[in-house]
Amino acid sequence: MATLFASDLHLDSVAPWAIDAFVAFLSGPARDAEALYLLGDLFEVWVGDDDLSADNQRICTALQELTRRGVRTYAIHGNRDFLLGDDFTRRTGVKLLPDPVLVDLYGVPTLLSHGDVFCTEDISYQQLRSIVRQPAWQRRFLALPLATRRVLANAARAGSKAHTQRTVPTIMDVNPEAVARAFRATGARRLIHGHTHRPGIHACQIDGMQAERVVLAPWYEAASCLSVDAGGVRELALPR
Protein backbone atom coordinates (compact mmCIF):
# COMPACT_ATOMS: atom_id res chain seq x y z
CA MET A 1 0.00 0.00 0.00
CA ALA A 2 1.04 3.58 -0.64
CA THR A 3 0.28 6.97 0.82
CA LEU A 4 -1.16 9.48 -1.65
CA PHE A 5 -0.74 13.24 -1.81
CA ALA A 6 -2.52 15.94 -3.80
CA SER A 7 -2.68 19.71 -3.58
CA ASP A 8 -3.94 22.77 -5.40
CA LEU A 9 -7.09 21.09 -6.62
CA HIS A 10 -8.90 24.47 -6.63
CA LEU A 11 -12.23 22.68 -6.94
CA ASP A 12 -14.86 25.06 -8.22
CA SER A 13 -18.13 24.96 -10.15
CA VAL A 14 -16.51 26.66 -13.15
CA ALA A 15 -14.30 23.58 -13.67
CA PRO A 16 -16.68 20.61 -13.35
CA TRP A 17 -14.14 18.23 -14.92
CA ALA A 18 -11.85 18.71 -11.91
CA ILE A 19 -14.65 17.86 -9.50
CA ASP A 20 -15.60 14.80 -11.56
CA ALA A 21 -11.96 13.65 -11.62
CA PHE A 22 -11.59 14.13 -7.87
CA VAL A 23 -14.79 12.23 -7.04
CA ALA A 24 -13.68 9.42 -9.37
CA PHE A 25 -10.27 9.40 -7.67
CA LEU A 26 -11.85 9.11 -4.23
CA SER A 27 -14.06 6.22 -5.35
CA GLY A 28 -11.18 4.52 -7.20
CA PRO A 29 -7.41 4.69 -6.51
CA ALA A 30 -7.77 6.47 -3.17
CA ARG A 31 -9.68 3.51 -1.70
CA ASP A 32 -6.54 1.38 -1.97
CA ALA A 33 -4.35 3.95 -0.24
CA GLU A 34 -2.92 3.61 3.23
CA ALA A 35 -3.69 7.30 3.72
CA LEU A 36 -4.51 10.41 1.69
CA TYR A 37 -3.08 13.86 2.35
CA LEU A 38 -4.58 16.96 0.73
CA LEU A 39 -1.96 19.68 1.07
CA GLY A 40 -4.00 22.83 0.68
CA ASP A 41 -6.32 24.59 -1.75
CA LEU A 42 -8.71 21.68 -2.01
CA PHE A 43 -11.26 24.35 -2.89
CA GLU A 44 -10.78 27.41 -5.06
CA VAL A 45 -12.55 29.35 -2.35
CA TRP A 46 -14.08 28.37 0.99
CA VAL A 47 -15.87 31.17 2.81
CA GLY A 48 -17.07 29.04 5.70
CA ASP A 49 -18.40 25.61 6.57
CA ASP A 50 -21.95 26.87 5.96
CA ASP A 51 -21.25 27.34 2.23
CA LEU A 52 -23.28 24.28 1.23
CA SER A 53 -23.42 24.62 -2.54
CA ALA A 54 -24.36 21.50 -4.48
CA ASP A 55 -20.77 21.02 -5.66
CA ASN A 56 -19.33 21.51 -2.18
CA GLN A 57 -21.76 18.97 -0.77
CA ARG A 58 -20.87 16.50 -3.51
CA ILE A 59 -17.17 16.81 -2.71
CA CYS A 60 -17.77 16.48 1.04
CA THR A 61 -19.97 13.43 0.54
CA ALA A 62 -17.28 11.74 -1.56
CA LEU A 63 -14.70 12.44 1.16
CA GLN A 64 -17.05 11.07 3.79
CA GLU A 65 -17.52 7.86 1.83
CA LEU A 66 -13.74 7.43 1.63
CA THR A 67 -13.10 7.98 5.33
CA ARG A 68 -15.98 5.67 6.27
CA ARG A 69 -14.18 2.94 4.33
CA GLY A 70 -11.27 3.36 6.72
CA VAL A 71 -8.87 5.40 4.58
CA ARG A 72 -7.21 7.93 6.85
CA THR A 73 -7.58 11.31 5.16
CA TYR A 74 -5.88 14.53 6.17
CA ALA A 75 -5.94 18.11 4.95
CA ILE A 76 -3.80 21.20 5.43
CA HIS A 77 -5.18 24.69 4.98
CA GLY A 78 -4.20 26.45 1.77
CA ASN A 79 -4.32 30.11 0.93
CA ARG A 80 -7.73 29.60 -0.69
CA ASP A 81 -9.42 27.40 1.90
CA PHE A 82 -7.92 28.45 5.24
CA LEU A 83 -11.46 28.71 6.67
CA LEU A 84 -12.08 24.97 6.60
CA GLY A 85 -13.25 24.23 10.11
CA ASP A 86 -14.81 21.83 12.57
CA ASP A 87 -18.08 21.37 10.68
CA PHE A 88 -16.11 20.36 7.58
CA THR A 89 -14.19 17.75 9.55
CA ARG A 90 -17.37 16.36 11.14
CA ARG A 91 -19.09 16.20 7.76
CA THR A 92 -16.23 14.48 5.94
CA GLY A 93 -14.15 12.62 8.53
CA VAL A 94 -11.08 14.47 7.23
CA LYS A 95 -8.59 15.51 9.93
CA LEU A 96 -7.11 18.99 9.65
CA LEU A 97 -3.36 19.19 10.33
CA PRO A 98 -1.13 22.13 11.27
CA ASP A 99 1.15 23.63 8.67
CA PRO A 100 3.86 22.42 8.57
CA VAL A 101 3.59 18.99 10.14
CA LEU A 102 6.23 16.27 10.50
CA VAL A 103 5.22 12.66 9.77
CA ASP A 104 7.10 9.39 9.40
CA LEU A 105 6.67 7.99 5.90
CA TYR A 106 8.08 4.48 5.68
CA GLY A 107 11.04 5.39 7.82
CA VAL A 108 11.69 8.80 6.22
CA PRO A 109 10.94 11.84 8.43
CA THR A 110 8.82 13.94 6.08
CA LEU A 111 7.65 17.52 6.48
CA LEU A 112 4.27 18.32 4.91
CA SER A 113 3.11 21.82 4.06
CA HIS A 114 0.93 23.74 1.68
CA GLY A 115 4.12 25.61 0.86
CA ASP A 116 3.14 29.27 1.06
CA VAL A 117 4.82 29.65 4.44
CA PHE A 118 8.19 29.20 2.68
CA CYS A 119 7.53 31.96 0.10
CA THR A 120 9.07 34.56 2.39
CA GLU A 121 10.23 36.91 -0.36
CA ASP A 122 6.62 37.71 -1.24
CA ILE A 123 6.35 40.19 1.60
CA SER A 124 2.91 41.61 0.78
CA TYR A 125 1.44 38.11 0.63
CA GLN A 126 3.04 37.12 3.94
CA GLN A 127 1.62 40.25 5.57
CA LEU A 128 -1.86 39.36 4.32
CA ARG A 129 -1.42 35.74 5.42
CA SER A 130 -0.50 36.83 8.95
CA ILE A 131 -3.75 38.82 9.17
CA VAL A 132 -6.26 36.33 7.75
CA ARG A 133 -4.89 33.42 9.78
CA GLN A 134 -5.66 35.24 13.04
CA PRO A 135 -8.63 33.68 14.92
CA ALA A 136 -10.08 37.14 15.69
CA TRP A 137 -10.09 38.12 12.01
CA GLN A 138 -11.68 34.81 11.04
CA ARG A 139 -14.42 35.16 13.67
CA ARG A 140 -15.31 38.62 12.34
CA PHE A 141 -15.33 37.41 8.75
CA LEU A 142 -17.44 34.32 9.50
CA ALA A 143 -19.97 36.49 11.33
CA LEU A 144 -20.80 38.26 8.06
CA PRO A 145 -23.73 37.03 5.93
CA LEU A 146 -22.78 34.25 3.51
CA ALA A 147 -23.60 36.40 0.47
CA THR A 148 -21.28 39.15 1.72
CA ARG A 149 -18.46 36.68 2.32
CA ARG A 150 -18.82 35.40 -1.24
CA VAL A 151 -18.59 38.92 -2.65
CA LEU A 152 -15.50 39.66 -0.57
CA ALA A 153 -13.91 36.36 -1.57
CA ASN A 154 -14.42 37.12 -5.26
CA ALA A 155 -12.80 40.51 -4.78
CA ALA A 156 -9.88 38.85 -3.00
CA ARG A 157 -9.45 36.38 -5.85
CA ALA A 158 -9.30 39.25 -8.35
CA GLY A 159 -6.71 40.99 -6.17
CA SER A 160 -4.66 37.80 -5.91
CA LYS A 161 -4.68 37.38 -9.68
CA ALA A 162 -3.50 40.96 -10.18
CA HIS A 163 -0.76 40.48 -7.58
CA THR A 164 0.44 37.32 -9.34
CA GLN A 165 0.56 39.05 -12.71
CA ARG A 166 2.65 41.98 -11.50
CA THR A 167 5.03 40.08 -9.20
CA VAL A 168 8.35 38.64 -10.35
CA PRO A 169 7.81 34.84 -10.52
CA THR A 170 10.88 33.98 -8.47
CA ILE A 171 9.54 36.03 -5.55
CA MET A 172 6.50 33.74 -5.39
CA ASP A 173 8.64 30.60 -5.18
CA VAL A 174 9.97 29.14 -1.94
CA ASN A 175 12.97 30.75 -0.33
CA PRO A 176 15.84 28.21 -0.11
CA GLU A 177 16.99 29.44 3.29
CA ALA A 178 13.45 29.21 4.70
CA VAL A 179 13.31 25.62 3.47
CA ALA A 180 16.74 24.85 4.96
CA ARG A 181 15.68 26.28 8.33
CA ALA A 182 12.62 24.01 8.32
CA PHE A 183 14.76 20.95 7.57
CA ARG A 184 17.16 21.83 10.39
CA ALA A 185 14.42 22.60 12.92
CA THR A 186 12.48 19.38 12.31
CA GLY A 187 15.14 16.86 11.30
CA ALA A 188 13.12 16.05 8.17
CA ARG A 189 14.80 14.45 5.19
CA ARG A 190 11.94 15.05 2.78
CA LEU A 191 9.61 18.03 2.28
CA ILE A 192 6.38 17.66 0.29
CA HIS A 193 4.40 20.77 -0.58
CA GLY A 194 2.27 22.46 -3.20
CA HIS A 195 1.26 26.10 -3.71
CA THR A 196 3.93 27.17 -6.20
CA HIS A 197 2.48 25.13 -9.11
CA ARG A 198 6.03 24.18 -10.08
CA PRO A 199 6.08 20.38 -9.80
CA GLY A 200 9.38 18.62 -9.42
CA ILE A 201 11.76 16.77 -7.13
CA HIS A 202 14.71 18.82 -5.92
CA ALA A 203 17.73 17.18 -4.26
CA CYS A 204 19.45 19.27 -1.61
CA GLN A 205 22.04 19.00 1.15
CA ILE A 206 21.33 20.17 4.66
CA ASP A 207 24.49 20.37 6.76
CA GLY A 208 26.02 17.56 4.73
CA MET A 209 22.90 15.36 4.85
CA GLN A 210 20.97 14.42 1.72
CA ALA A 211 17.39 15.64 1.55
CA GLU A 212 14.74 16.22 -1.09
CA ARG A 213 11.97 18.73 -1.70
CA VAL A 214 8.99 17.39 -3.62
CA VAL A 215 6.59 19.90 -5.21
CA LEU A 216 3.15 18.61 -6.13
CA ALA A 217 1.56 19.33 -9.48
CA PRO A 218 -1.59 21.46 -9.46
CA TRP A 219 -4.58 19.16 -9.89
CA TYR A 220 -6.64 21.75 -11.79
CA GLU A 221 -4.16 21.64 -14.68
CA ALA A 222 -3.85 17.85 -14.98
CA ALA A 223 -5.35 15.53 -12.41
CA SER A 224 -2.44 13.74 -10.78
CA CYS A 225 -1.22 12.83 -7.33
CA LEU A 226 1.96 11.71 -5.65
CA SER A 227 2.36 8.14 -4.46
CA VAL A 228 4.87 7.42 -1.69
CA ASP A 229 5.79 4.00 -0.35
CA ALA A 230 8.88 2.23 0.97
CA GLY A 231 10.34 2.31 -2.54
CA GLY A 232 10.21 6.08 -2.83
CA VAL A 233 8.20 8.72 -4.65
CA ARG A 234 6.38 8.53 -7.97
CA GLU A 235 3.71 10.50 -9.76
CA LEU A 236 0.39 8.78 -10.28
CA ALA A 237 -1.43 10.05 -13.38
CA LEU A 238 -5.19 9.82 -13.25
CA PRO A 239 -7.84 9.70 -15.99
CA ARG A 240 -9.62 12.95 -16.73
pLDDT given at position 184: 96
pTM exceeds 0.85, yes or no: yes
Q: How does pLDDT run across 193-220, given as a tens digit for each residue?
A: 999 999 999 999 999 999 999 999 998 7
- 3-237: CATH topology is Purple Acid Phosphatase; chain A, domain 2 (3.60.21)
Q: How does pLDDT run across 52-77, given as a tens digit for each residue?
A: 899 999 999 999 999 999 999 999 99
pLDDT given at position 172: 64
pLDDT given at position 168: 47
Domain boundaries, the chain: 3-237
Place 237 in a pLDDT band, splitting at 50, 70 and 90.
confident
Q: How does pLDDT run across 90-138, given as a tens digit for each residue?
A: 999 999 999 999 999 999 999 999 999 999 998 888 999 999 999 999 9
Triad 21, 25, 27: Cα angle to 5°: 120
pLDDT given at position 20: 94
pLDDT given at position 171: 54
What is the three-class DSSP state of 54?
helix
Give percent above pLDDT 90 in the chain: 81
Spell out the alpha helix ranges (H) of the chain. 16-27, 54-68, 86-92, 123-132, 135-142, 146-166, 176-186
